[in-house]
Amino acid sequence: MPGNVPAVRIAFGQSFDVPAGYLNTASIGIPPKVAVDGLMEAVRRWQSGADAPGDFDADVRLARKAWGSLIGVEESAVASGAGVSQLISLVAASVPDGTRVVTAAGEFTSVTFPFASQAYRGVTVTEVELAELPSHVDRFDLVAVSVVQSADGAVVDLESLREAAAASGTQVLLDVTQAAGWMPLRLDWADWVIGACYKWLMSPRGAAWMAVKPETLERTVPIAANWYAGEDPWAAVYGLPLRLAGDARRLDLSPVWFSQLTAAIVVPWLASLDIEAVRDHCVGLADGLLVALGLAPKGSAIVSLDIPDAAGKLAAAGVKSSIRAGRVRLACHLYNTAGDIESVLAALRD
């Protein structure tokens, strides 16, 4: 029904005010009620001038540690920023002149544009088909790719990529924005791992993180160096000399407070869950939809459909989706139900 109103759903121990038919987490995740309550309380404190800047430092630390847990790295290896492109730009500005980068055809541009913008010093970016990416790694210096593709939910073969990169010495940058939060991940082998908060991590846009291998950190230039990246941020506010943190915090950006506060509520909760159970729930719904439509399951929480008039039919039925690369994109998260899938099927059969 058009104009679906939110109804409380209980998922993995949390309450969500999610409208029926909301299948657009790949664009914007819906926060649990506890996170909304925490954010609203923070706004009320802001309104009355009750907070000091340092009051948010604990949230930054908690969100950093929890995000690292989601991808299998230590807190000390994680830098905190504001967006994927901002963090990837640190990498792009750090690679040597003439670096050869390989990526997936149709990759999200926040992954590729930072490198393409370095063309003036000989950095090149080559696109290949995602399924063929591991076989091309040995001809390049760096591979930059999303673990799950934004446009259609295709999943990179991480094991083949890891093996190919290890054999050739090629550095690896992974974007987990469309993967962390529903997919089990252990990515301590990658040189850089980047992810944003506002999709599957269900927090306001404005927080992102980058894990950096210790041996790669020294080659990553802190071009956005600022007081918050100091060894002791509150003692690095004024004056020289440069005094940055010794670990990945040297790449930190001054935090977007409310985004970090909300992430500090949601991400630790996600990290505490049985992520394989979350994956099975999300992928089960997505693959169930594909099978019901006579299509092959893909093993992803994101579904991309090339069906005539699908966007209009879904919108008329009150199903929230998005259009990416000319196709309808649907995303199943932990708060979605079989009823959401039935709404899609009913709309497409009309």
Q: pLDDT per residue over 73-115, tens digit each?
A: 999 999 999 999 999 999 999 999 999 999 999 999 999 999 9
On the question of a cis peptide bond just before residue 31, with omega within 30 degrees of 0, the verdict is no
pTM of the model as a whole: 0.96
Enumerate the β-bridge partners of residue 322: 329
Neighbours of 325 (CB within 10 A): 12
Percentage of residues of the chain with pLDDT beyond 70: 98
**What average pLDDT is seen over the chain?**
97
User: What's the distance, CA 252 to chain centroid?
Assistant: 17
Q: pLDDT per residue over 269-314, tens digit each?
A: 999 999 999 999 999 999 999 999 999 999 999 999 999 999 999 9
Q: pLDDT per residue over 22-55, tens digit each?
A: 999 999 999 999 999 999 999 999 999 999 999 9
Interval 245-259 mean pLDDT: 98
Does the structure show a pLDDT above 60 at 1?
no
Does residue 233 contact residue 213 with C-beta atoms inside 8 Å?
no
| Amino acid, single-letter form, for residue 107 | E
Does the structure show a pLDDT above 80 at 350?
no
Alpha carbon dihedral 130, 131, 136, 141, in 10-degree steps, equals 40
Task: Tokens for 72, please give them.
Answer: 């299998």
